[in-house]
């Protein structure tokens, strides 16, 4: 099972979509992060895009055709602290859907990989 992707381990798309939905909910209701999202409309579309991106990031099919992470988050001035809070929320969302610890650790490492593209310099 060494080669099994994170995507396969999650059993496909449905669980990932639920996790991303929960993740997004935790982001926009976090009083320290909500201001990043206050001017952002069409949140339901964003959830869809984010789900496609996460599916790809986890080793599933690439159906994400949005902008790259650096471009999207450029100008948002996301601090390292805000990023860390977001990772905590992602872990909380995974826990809610009974993700095994081993898989959560893999995902956390992956999310940390994109940190330099998201946090402002
Ligand atoms: C943890 C890793 C993260 C990933 C994988 C990620 C992924 C994404 C994706 C795919 C979009 C595009 C949605 C679309 O095309 O409409 C997006 C948009 C956005 N993200 Fe992130 N994000 C992450 C972390 C964060 C953090 C930490 C914040 C702020 C605290 C943040 C704030 C935003 C905002 C405000 C938008 C909307 C930008 C706009 O359309 O004006 N993201 N993110």
The label of the residue with tokens 């080669």 reads 3
Q: What distance in angstroms lies between residue 2's CA and the mean position of ligand 1's atoms?
A: 30
Mutate to test the pocket of ligand 1, among 32, 37, 46 (most ligand atoms within 8 A of CB): 46
- Cα 53 to chain centroid, rounded: 8
Task: Go through 72-99 and write b for each residue having 16 or more CB atoms within 10 A of its CB, e for each that does not.
Answer: bbeeeebeeebbebbeebbbebbeeeeb
Asked: is 6-118 a CATH 1.10.490.10 domain? The reply is yes
pLDDT at 40 (0 to 100): 67
At how many degrees (to 10) do helices 13-28 and 80-96 cross? 130
List per-residue pLDDT tens for the chain, 121 residues long: 556 889 998 888 999 999 999 999 999 999 999 999 887 666 666 888 899 999 998 989 999 999 999 999 998 999 999 999 999 999 999 999 999 999 999 999 999 999 999 998 5
The label of the residue with tokens 């939905």 reads 21
Instruction: List, as residue ranges, the binding site.
Output: 73
The residue ranges of every structural domain in the chain are 6-118
Q: What distance in angstroms lies between residue 50's CA and the mean position of ligand 1's atoms?
A: 7
Q: Is 93 in the pocket of ligand 1 (CB under 6 A)?
A: no
């Amino acid at each position: 099972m060494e080669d099994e992707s994170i995507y396969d381990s999650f059993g496909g798309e449905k669980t990932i979509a639920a996790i991303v939905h929960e993740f997004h909910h935790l982001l926009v209701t976090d009083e320290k992060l909500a201001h990043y999202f206050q001017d952002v409309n069409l949140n339901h579309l964003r959830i869809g895009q984010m789900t496609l991106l996460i599916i790809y990031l986890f080793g599933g099919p690439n159906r994400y055709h949005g902008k790259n992470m650096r471009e999207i988050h450029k100008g948002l001035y996301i601090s390292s602290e805000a990023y860390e809070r977001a990772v905590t929320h992602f872990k909380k969302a995974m826990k809610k859907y009974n993700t095994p610890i081993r898989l959560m650790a893999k995902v956390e490492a992956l999310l940390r990989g994109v940190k330099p593209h998201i946090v402002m310099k």
